[in-house]
Amino acid sequence: MSSKHDDLSSSDKEYLFTIEGDAVTAYFEVEPKSIGSNDSFVIDGDQIILTKETSDGTRTTVFSDPDGDGFYAIASSTDEDDEDHHDLGHDHGHKSFKFDIADGAVIAVYELDDGVWELKPIDDDGSETYTVEGDAVIRTETKPFGSEITRYEDSDGDGIYFRTAEEWVIAPAEHSIAPKFSGMLHYLPTDNDDFIVVRGGEDSRGGLGADGFVVREAAHLRIEDFNTLEDDELIFDTGLGLTSQEQLINHITDFNYDGQDFIVHFGLHVSITLVGIQPDEISWNSISILS
């Protein structure tokens, strides 16, 4: 890694050794975490409760050491507005869509832009198709790597749809560069381990569990609850030929901490904002490069 960007992953790592007699039987890498001004801790028996104030609300993480060996594991992690984040709505940074549907077919698509519903043209060359499945609309677009399939849902029947899932079916031409991950990506969090879509104009948010935030486009991207304590991971699967962290570093032009969020810049028009993350809360151990 170039010296210009070493600070992105720098932290004074420490190691803990288990010694029995005169032999080392186990050792652990310890990565110290700084306590932010918005963090508070409460000790309750064999538990330590961390309350962290972020721009998105309050996160409470409970660490537990039931056997008293000094090692704590995460017992639970909740947000005060978890229930709200399972609802589709404008307040949580998701794009809104409407569809004109006649005889079971989508004939027009609209996207809400600055409070105005704007007509989105549908490609008539067969590369873009829509199908209706109950209260969901499925969009399939032909791409050089295969197909991009996006699911839109109107859960409350008010005629406004939100993207809920996305899948890229990889079938690249010979020798072409293509994304590698072909599983389902989610726009909404669950309490399980999820792969989350990271898109420009969307506030990407995971839930409980170890979430993988998958970056596939060059835009100003925003991730609201990246949490290394839950083993969240930032995954680059751009299909642009990236194969290593070193290559990614070469595209970083700057990074900064504004007192609340950590922002990595890739030129003027591309950035990734990790909301509520301090610089020492993210390292290259949490970043994977697929393509």
Model pLDDT for residues 111-154, shown as the tens digit of each residue = 998 889 999 999 878 899 999 998 899 999 998 888 999 999 99
Token code pair at residue 116: 């105005």
- SS3 call for 4: helix
DSSP designation for 161? B
Q: What is the pTM of this model?
A: 0.66
Q: Which residues pair with 105 in a beta bridge?
A: 102
Q: Cα separation of 278 and 50, whole Å?
A: 16
- Which long-range CB contacts under 8 A does 71-78 form with residues at least 24 apart? 72/48, 74/229, 74/230, 75/47, 76/208, 77/208, 77/227, 77/229, 77/230, 78/208
> Do the beta carbons of residue 216 and residue 179 sit within 8 Å?
yes
pLDDT at 2: 34
pLDDT of residue 54: 58
Question: Would you state the pLDDT for residue 9?
Answer: 42
Mean pLDDT, consecutive 10-residue stretches, the chain (291 aa), reads 40 69 75 68 86 67 79 69 41 80 94 90 88 95 90 92 92 71 87 90 85 92 89 90 90 91 92 91 91 85
pLDDT value at position 11?
45
